[in-house]
Amino acid sequence: MAAPERERRKSRRAGECVLLLVFTCALRCAQSLKDSNVVLILTDDLDVELGGLTPLKKTQTLIGDAGVTFSNAYTVTPLCCPSRSSILSGKYPHNHMVRNNSLSGNCSSKSWQNGPESQAFPLYLSKKLYQTFYGGKYLNQYGSKEAGGVTYVPPGWDQWHALVGNSKYYNYTLSVNGKEETHGDSYEKDYLTDLILNRSLNFLEQRSPQHPFFIMLCPPAPHSPWTAAPQYQKSFIDVKAPRDGSFNKPGKGKHWLLRQPQNPMASSSIDYLDDAFRRRWQTLLSVDDMVEKLVKKLEDINELNNTFIFFTSDNGYHTGQFSLPIDKRQLYEFDIRVPLLVRGPGIQPKQTLQDPVINIDLPMTILDIAGVNLSTVNMDGQSFLPQLVPSARNGTSRPFFLVEYTGEGLFPTDPDCPKLGPGLANCFPDCVCEDAVNNTYACVRTLKDSNLQYCEFADNESFVEVYNLTSDPHQLENIVKKVDPSLLQNMNQRLIKLQSCEGKSCRDIKSHL
């Protein structure tokens, strides 16, 4: 931001301060939320169902144990670019229209830039005089020529250190405040997880202490190519992917894509997924160091007790569940559940909260912390600050929510597996395909009155899957033919309402229709 602009904002702020004190201090000071800083750490492909938090010991201590661990946090769509677009815009995919990881599916497209991104949450923080910093992976197509190249910097960011394209650990290009910066493969100079941490620490040193700050750190870990830091390349050598639940089980009674995998899996697939599992964990050790160093720095500059820290992921992951080797994109808990740990002023330590929270709630919660009037914000999510801070605990959490996904596919088919039918993609070892054009679905997930999932596919079978997560937590049995038809009807009605909801109407859909 230009200096005169900063000065103008400062003087405007001085005037606002008096008003703030008179009218809102009683409320906001009591909650010690005034001018709180916020840090959002968004990992890439980190599951919670397969023990993804296990290697993150320091993170669990420094964030989870110091605050809240949410046991029911979800993404509204299990794929990087659509999910990240939801986090930035606070909208379900049917409202931000980012359908997949390609430009043609609106990932970083001009329509996204001119539409949802121009009203994304960082802009509101900037207007509230937050000093903002971004570091790491952004949207998969960010920095491509058609998306405006590296000179394009989304609005609301004062410091911008964003990765061009999809996750990488070395040999990447960054946009540093709109200028291209290329990196090689020296650990000391280039390792991306460490580099974005270092830049965020510099930002903290150079910030103006008069204003709050917002830091968003998006490490590539634990996304492929799973390149661990040299000191961690021998960690977890005896670890294997968990063998319980739906591991190496057939996708019996499920939609057609899940009926394709070879079962039992070939040993080559199992070796491949075990290797991926280990290397994912190795890359997370650098994320754990990042959290430790960042918390230490906040302590050193006396800001730790005035900073909310959110730790989460864009989507979950699977390694061998229902005989699918590795990926995300499916409707099952392993792919849609995400970790969510939060610490901050007013949050009691060592809490586990069952309230359902979805990723489109993150921006609303952050804006709530920043004191933005939420009725002026056009987002589908809702703030969960009332669940976090006891003195403000009067909001209700939602009874159910929507998960929606548009299948990615290639025509004619994945070139590595030419004998398969048309429209398949992401065919991992032994030609088991993780996605297809018609792997397109929408689900209602209920968690309060009942623990159910109801999903409809847009395929030529109009396939429906229903799970009772209480009696069948691993979703082994599709009970669509066993349940009362009135339940299916009720769930279908909720789904229709959710699929066309926007803003307030997404929050107001009643349990009883």
Ligand X SMILES: *[C@@H]1O[C@H](CO)[C@@H](O)[C@H](O)[C@H]1NC(C)=O
Q: Which residues are identified as catalytic? A: 80
Other C-beta atoms within 10 Å of 255: how many? Answer: 21
Asked whether position 118 contacts ligand X by CB under 6 A, the answer is no
CB of 480 vs ligand X, minimal distance in Å: 27
Q: Residues in contact with ligand X, total (CB under 6 A)?
A: 26
- Contact between 157 and 134 under an 8 Å Cβ cutoff? The reply is yes
- Contact between 76 and 401 under an 8 Å Cβ cutoff? The reply is yes
Closest CA to 122 of 233, 40, 55: 40
Asked whether position 106 contacts ligand X by CB under 6 A, the answer is yes
Other C-beta atoms within 10 Å of 504: how many? Answer: 12
HSE-up of 418 (CA within 13 Å, CB side)? 1
Name the segment binding ligand X (CB under 6 A); options: 42-50, 52-60, 302-310, 494-502: 302-310
Name the segment binding ligand X (CB under 6 A); options: 93-101, 266-274, 476-484, 490-498: 93-101
Name the segment binding ligand X (CB under 6 A); options: 157-165, 183-191, 325-333, 457-465: 183-191
- Contact between 371 and 95 under an 8 Å Cβ cutoff? The reply is no
Q: Figure out which of the listed residues 20, 97, 464, 483 binds ligand X, where binding follows CB under 6 A.
A: 97
Q: Figure out which of the listed residues 46, 63, 195, 420 binds ligand X, where binding follows CB under 6 A.
A: 195
Q: Figure out which of the listed residues 306, 451, 468, 492 binds ligand X, where binding follows CB under 6 A.
A: 306
CA dihedral 486, 491, 495, 498 (to 10 degrees): 110
Of all residues in the shown chain, the one whose CB is closest to ligand X is 105
Q: Give the span between the Cα atoms of 244 and 469, in whole angstroms.
A: 16
Q: In angstroms, how far is CA 183 from the centroid of its own chain?
A: 26
Q: Compute CA distances 381 → 33, 128, 284, 464, whole Å.
A: 21, 20, 29, 26
Closest CA to 498 of 435, 463, 446: 446
**Shorter beta-carbon distance to ligand X: residue 35 or 274:** 35
Q: Which two tokens stand for residue 222?
A: 């634990």
Asked whether position 355 contacts ligand X by CB under 6 A, the answer is no
CB of 6 vs ligand X, minimal distance in Å: 25
Name the segment binding ligand X (CB under 6 A); options: 12-20, 94-102, 246-254, 451-459: 94-102
Asked whether position 188 contacts ligand X by CB under 6 A, the answer is yes
Q: Figure out which of the listed residues 57, 127, 189, 296 binds ligand X, where binding follows CB under 6 A.
A: 189
Asked whether position 185 contacts ligand X by CB under 6 A, the answer is yes
* Binding interface with ligand X (CB under 6 A): 32, 97, 99-100, 102, 104-106, 111, 115, 170-171, 185, 188-191, 194-195, 198, 302, 305-306, 345, 408-409
